Amino acid sequence: MGWIDEEHQGVRYGLSGDVLVEERSPFQRISVICSERYGKGLLLDGCWMTAEHQERHYHEPLVHPALCTAQSIERVLIIGGGDGGTARECLRHTDVTHLDMVEIDGRVVELSRTHLPMIGGSAWSDPRFHLTIGDGIAWVSDSAEQSYDVVLVDGSDPAGPAVGLFNRTFFEQCRRILRPGGVFATQSESPEAFRAVHVAIVRLLREVFGHADPLYGWVPMYPSGWWSWTFAAVDGPRYKSPISPRAALIQHDCQIWSPRWQRGGFDAIPYSIELELQNE
Amino acid sequence: MGWIDEEHQGVRYGLSGDVLVEERSPFQRISVICSERYGKGLLLDGCWMTAEHQERHYHEPLVHPALCTAQSIERVLIIGGGDGGTARECLRHTDVTHLDMVEIDGRVVELSRTHLPMIGGSAWSDPRFHLTIGDGIAWVSDSAEQSYDVVLVDGSDPAGPAVGLFNRTFFEQCRRILRPGGVFATQSESPEAFRAVHVAIVRLLREVFGHADPLYGWVPMYPSGWWSWTFAAVDGPRYKSPISPRAALIQHDCQIWSPRWQRGGFDAIPYSIELELQNE
């Protein structure tokens, strides 16, 4: 047992545990660890991504505010999401009939399926689930106009392989492939540890989609523990209003998310960030 | 420069910096450090308490939901709060005419005034501020019935000198000294790192006061980064409804708190904790 730490700006967050796998894929350094507190976990380029007993803090807030509010949720696209947790939460929605997931790094999927099988759960064998190992940015560009009800971006920080997932061209392409009544969502970093990037993402999404709002929650293993996801739509802030029957089907198996929690997460914007977003 | 860490349940949170003071008072081990990321900071018994550039994450959520909602706020009592941040935020409310603060450890006050003077700010010299070094539990027992409008408990974890601040007898005494229309507030630990303690505090406050609700926020340096404060009142959940003119006077100088943020913090209860609190 030793400490496995992520360091960021003079702060470190560490878990006591053992490193099970450490390898370099063509895209990044991948580490699988086994921790005392949160079970098995995954790091990419030394940054905490997920762990068995903490992953719901991240996946529920990304998925359910989008899938409970889009007009229809038949066709869903995930960019990234190699550990399978986002796919698993999407497939709990029985109205989803086709889920595409495009992950750039096949080794992340292989190592997750081998070492963290409980995170993807039954998603990997669900007939509605279609996995492509490839470039998500190209996938979006090549997709037909209005071909998805929901687009979820589940990428790492805007550095390395994920850098292209946070710019105007990519967001415009995501808007193009969304059907009317659709919802776009992306993780949008910490309002504390990555404040400038966070504010820039929200601003850009507002420009591109017309409506976008950050939702705040907690992922203890990410820098500052305070995290955000930003939701966008063309036809108004529909991502704020869960559709009751769909929410009722999902809520009972959630640890974090509920329609009430979601309302709280959108309201819990720190006052200084609210002001900064108003002064555009 | 080295790492100064707090370890808790196989997790550690560390800041890169230097230790300036380390001494043992009759009550606890006190450390003052200077960190790269958050400036000067304070630890008690090796647990992070506060730091110059992070203290507002803790003090604004403890103070303003109580002081913006109590019927009157002339007489306020703080138990603990030795760094001075809670007193500073209270004294921003011009309706406060008398603020008692009872801190058990005089060395915490002395070291905070010397090394962290910006946290207490002008509180230390404010004529409305009355500091007593002594036992807060005895102070509450000895206080006259209905003698305070607001009682704030700003103590450390329920271990060491703070252990008596989280039991029925103490809460009953706090209720006794509150005036009609008054509000009680206490820090109530992390719903993640101290889940059982957190739930127990909320339950006990509901039993003693009749109305109590947790509010969720973020203090990156505390275990899990995810923190809570619980508010209680006898005459209904008045702590949920800020009085507009009082809130307007305070909000403009806040980094975190606003009436909207407060509403969000009360709603952002994780679903599994909401269920656990319903099954009493």
pLDDT at B195: 96
Mean pLDDT of A232-254: 97
Q: Are B48 and B222 in contact (CB under 8 A)?
A: yes
E-strand ranges in B25-111 read 29-35, 39-44, 47-51, 75-80, 98-103
pLDDT tier at A57, thresholds 50, 70, 90: very high
Measured between alpha carbons, how far apart are the two ends of chain B, in Å? 49
A266 to chain B: closest CA residue: B264
pLDDT score recorded for residue B157 = 80
B145 three-class SS? coil
Residue A156 has a pLDDT of: 85
A39: left (phi over 0), alpha (psi -120 to 50) or beta: left
- Percent of chain B predicted with pLDDT > 70: 100
Range A56-85 average pLDDT? 98
Most B CBs within 10 A among A213, A218, A227, A229, hence the mutation to make, goes to A218
Q: What is the mean pLDDT of residues B130-159?
A: 95
User: For A84-128, what is each residue's pLDDT tens digit?
Assistant: 999 999 999 999 999 999 999 999 999 999 999 999 999 999 999
The one catalytic residue in A105, A154, A157, A213 is A154
CA distance A83 to chain B (A): 22
Distances (CA, A) of A178 to A76, A229, A241, A275, B70: 10, 18, 18, 30, 48
Closest CA to B171 of B223, B131, B130, B211: B211
Q: What is the pLDDT of residue B280?
A: 63
Residue whose token pair is 């098995």: A40
Show the domains of chain B with their CATH numbers: 2-51 (2.30.140.10), 56-278 (3.40.50.150)
Answer for the pair A23, A45: CB distance below 8 angstroms, yes or no: no
Average pLDDT over chain B reads 96
Which one of B256, B271, B274, B276 makes the best mutation probe of the A interface by having the most chain A beta carbons within 10 Å?
B271
d(CA B228, CA A280): 32
Question: What's the pLDDT tens digit per position in B39-55?
Answer: 999 999 999 999 999 99
- Is the pLDDT at A162 greater than 80? The verdict is no
In terms of Cα–Cα distance, which of B190, B174, B191 is closest to B182?
Answer: B174
Give how far A230 is from chain B: nearest CA, Å.
16
Is there a contact between B268 and A261 if contact means CB atoms under 8 Å apart? yes
Asked whether the beta carbons of A67 and A90 are under 8 A apart, the reply is: yes
Res A264 pLDDT > 70: yes
The 3-state DSSP class for residue A99 equals: strand
Reduced to 3 states (helix: H, G, I; strand: E, B; else coil), residue B144 is coil
Q: Most A CBs within 10 Å: which of B53, B267, B275, as the mutation test of the A interface?
A: B267
Averaged pLDDT score across all residues of chain A: 96
Q: What is the mean pLDDT of residues B206-218?
A: 98
Residue from the list B37, B257, B268 with its beta carbon closest to the beta carbon of A265 = B268
pLDDT value at A218 more than 80:
yes
Q: For helices B195-209 and B168-177, what crossing angle results, to 10°?
A: 40
pTM (two decimals): 0.97
Chain B positions in Cβ-Cβ contact with residue A3 (cut-off 8 Å)? 12
**Active-site residue list of B:** 154
DSSP A147-209: -EEEEEEE--SSSGGGGGGGSHHHHHHHHHHEEEEEEEEEE---TTTTHHHHHHHHHHHHHHH
Q: What are B's interface residues with A at a Cβ cutoff of 8 A?
A: 3, 5, 9-17, 35-37, 192-193, 216-218, 220, 224-226, 251, 254-258, 260-261, 263-272, 274
CB contact under 8 A, A224 and B216: no
> Do A100 and A126 touch, CB atoms closer than 8 A?
no
